[in-house]
Amino acid sequence: MPANHTRRAFLQTISLGLGTTLAFPSIIHAKPSFQKKKLGIALVGLGSYAKNQLAVALAQTDNCYLAGIVTGTPAKAEEWKRKYNIPEKNIYNYQSFDQIADNKDIDIVYIVLPNSMHHEFVLRAAKAGKHVMCEKPMSVSVKEAEEMVAACKKAGVQLGIGYRLHFEPFTQEVMRLGQKKILGDVRFVQTNFGFSIGDPTQWRLKKELAGGGPLMDVGIYCVQASRYATGKEPLWVTAQLGPITDKQRFTTVEESISWQMEFPDGIMVNGFSSYKSNIEQLYVSATNGWFQLGPAYGYGPLKGRTSQGELNLPVVHHQTVMLNGICKEFLENNKFPAHTSGEEGLRDMKILMGIYEAARTGKKISLAS
């Protein structure tokens, strides 16, 4: 991993697209409003990701801790209360959630619910005056994502999306290699992420809760990768739905989807996402060489090579470095990092919806606006 100051200097110059290279929080001299050394985080929705990743991270982060929980399952409330020593006054359910406004222990609410519930709970968190982290995909429509960004802005609270890979060394190296043209100009990106889904009754297979299939769940990593490997924004997309081979599981969401995007300077991107095939790869071809990650997007350890050899980088716990990174930035500058902001999530939502529109209509959909 690059030294902290090097990484920071690099992050300051990540292009956020739309032709803009934004200044990053480390050069914004806002006055921090927090005197605390550790920020209190409340997890909303105690499912698999909250339990197996975020709670584990919050037990080892330097600058934030698990201060509260919000759950619809009383047995989980009891279990988490005991396990993490959470005071009764910091435990809420989905009905009592709004009372979190009066709880000074909670600085950040972290939404880890099924995708279609993100919008409601981000808006309620903003109304309660709490800063919000929200899991990916941030919403199930562009309109919802825009409302989430606007609500947080209006309430004067920060909105961040749980893009853990932005804090992960192999991914940061991909950003550096691509955006700084270390191996020349990027010409082509191949990005694939899929897995064989299990339980046919789970919310990920229900459009009303998931908003879509593998594209929403894991294809979003491929969209992110094409943007951070190039530092550019796509111009147009074409896409095709794969066949439905499992009629029991795939009644409302796609089983697999492929897409093609053109980025500025003629860069072409091929993407594939699936709930049927186990695949996790990123390959970037540049004028003077290539770089690739595989596995590229899961919890790791990630692995990578370039045309010049193996990438030897530290293996980290993604959620721990993400939460440490976000809270550090927040404690220093009173803002979440811009590269994982609500606006960044909104950009992805526009692309995901463009991919679905292209697949549905068979047309080339412009993303340039």
| 224 counts as binding ligand NDP under rule CB under 6 A | no
- List 130, 136, 328, 335, catalytic entry: 136
The residues pairing with 53 across neighbouring beta strands, listed in sequence order, are none
Count of residues near ligand NDP by CB under 6 A = 21
| 84 counts as binding ligand NDP under rule CB under 6 A | no
Alpha-carbon distances, residue 231 vs 125, 175, 202, 292, 341 (angstroms): 31, 7, 35, 16, 16
| 276 counts as binding ligand NDP under rule CB under 6 A | no
Two tokens, residue 142: 């562009």
| 162 counts as binding ligand NDP under rule CB under 6 A | yes
The answer to whether 136 is a known catalytic residue is yes
Q: Give the single-character DSSP code of 218.
A: I
Q: Least Å distance between CB 219 and ligand NDP? A: 12
Other beta carbons within 10 angstroms of residue 289's beta carbon come to: 14
Radius of gyration from C-alpha coordinates of the chain: 20
- C-beta closer to ligand NDP: residue 71 or 179: 71
- Find the binder of ligand NDP among 25, 40, 45, 219 (CB under 6 A): 45
| 112 counts as binding ligand NDP under rule CB under 6 A | yes
Q: Are 293 and 281 in contact (CB under 8 A)?
A: yes
Q: Least Å distance between CB 289 and ligand NDP? A: 29
Contact positions with ligand NDP (CB under 6 A) in 163-182: 164
3-state class (DSSP) for residue 16: coil
The answer to whether 92 is a known catalytic residue is no
Using alpha carbons, select from 120, 158, 102, 149 the residue that is nearest to residue 44: 120
Measured on CA atoms in the order 309, 314, 315, 318, is the torsion positive or negative? negative
| 76 counts as binding ligand NDP under rule CB under 6 A | yes
Stretch that binds ligand NDP, among 28-36, 107-115, 304-312, 326-334 (CB under 6 A): 107-115
| 292 counts as binding ligand NDP under rule CB under 6 A | no
- Find the binder of ligand NDP among 2, 7, 8, 47 (CB under 6 A): 47
Q: Strand 309-310 relative to strand 365-366: parallel, antiparallel, unpaired?
A: unpaired
Give the amino acid at 90. N
| 113 counts as binding ligand NDP under rule CB under 6 A | yes
Using alpha carbons, select from 219, 222, 152, 230 the residue that is nearest to residue 191: 222
Q: Which residues bind ligand NDP (CB under 6 A)?
A: 45-50, 71-73, 76, 112-115, 135-136, 162, 164, 203, 209, 217
Catalytic center residues: 136, 221
